[in-house]
Amino acid sequence: MSTATVNIDAKMVKELRDKTGAPFGDCKNALVESNGDLEQAVIILRKRGVAMAGKKASRTTNEGSVASYIHAGGKIGVLLELNCESDFVARTDDFKELLHDISMHVAATDPKYIRREDVTAEDYDREKEIYRSQAAGTGKPANVVEKIVEGKMAKFYEEVCLLDQPFIKDQTITVSQLIATKIGKLGENISIRRFARFKVGEQSWTIAQTKPATGEETKQ
């Protein structure tokens, strides 16, 4: 089907906007590019968001907001700081929605770190050694063992790193991709600075933060 034969009506554009939150013009262009295929249009918009996020990743985020989220009848609580470039964006509904969604996600999944770069050398080395020992026990060649270890480490990051986790409200995207979508819509860099998660009855709690060069997570 050629783009000339596709009738992109307002209903299709609205459906895509409701699904992605992208501006009207971007939604219409994505639908035209995808020949009216809604799912392909979603992918196009996500790729553009990721591309824009990459371009803006080095920009300083000194504004933002802190939010709290209480879950499970007051049994789990999260305090999270989300940063952006301007106070104007921090006050938008889109930014507030993102802050709420990420806080809710943290409450549900209990990640230990924000980014892969924040994983401590101790945790990284311990997990990698465990996976290497398990893979070596299969008797497979060394190159195959290393591929198995790489796959296991990717799964480890998905379990413990917030940005690598599938977003709880849409398992087809990661938290990182969720943020990239908002960056594409709002036009500013957005980053998670830190969070704390508490659960009633547990003696320890999770505190994670991102630093310019390296991150640090502690269990107290």
Q: What percent of the chain has pLDDT over 70?
A: 87
Interval 11-35 mean pLDDT: 81
Interval 42-63 mean pLDDT: 75
Answer whether 163's CB lies under 8 Å from 215's CB. Answer: no
- Tell me the whole-structure pTM to 2 decimals: 0.74
Would strands 170-174 and 191-199 be described as parallel, antiparallel, or unpaired? unpaired
Whether the predicted pLDDT of 158 surpasses 90: yes
Inter-residue long-range contacts of 57-66, CB under 8 Å, 24+ positions, other chains counted: 57/189, 58/189, 59/85, 59/188, 59/189, 60/85, 60/189, 61/85, 61/188, 61/189, 61/190, 61/191, 61/193, 63/87, 63/89, 63/90, 64/90, 64/193, 65/90, 65/95, 65/96, 65/99
Whether the predicted pLDDT of 211 surpasses 90: no
Identify the pLDDT of residue 214: 38
Q: How distant, in Å, are the alpha carbons of 3, 38, 88, 156 from that of 29?
A: 11, 12, 27, 38
Whether the predicted pLDDT of 113 surpasses 70: yes
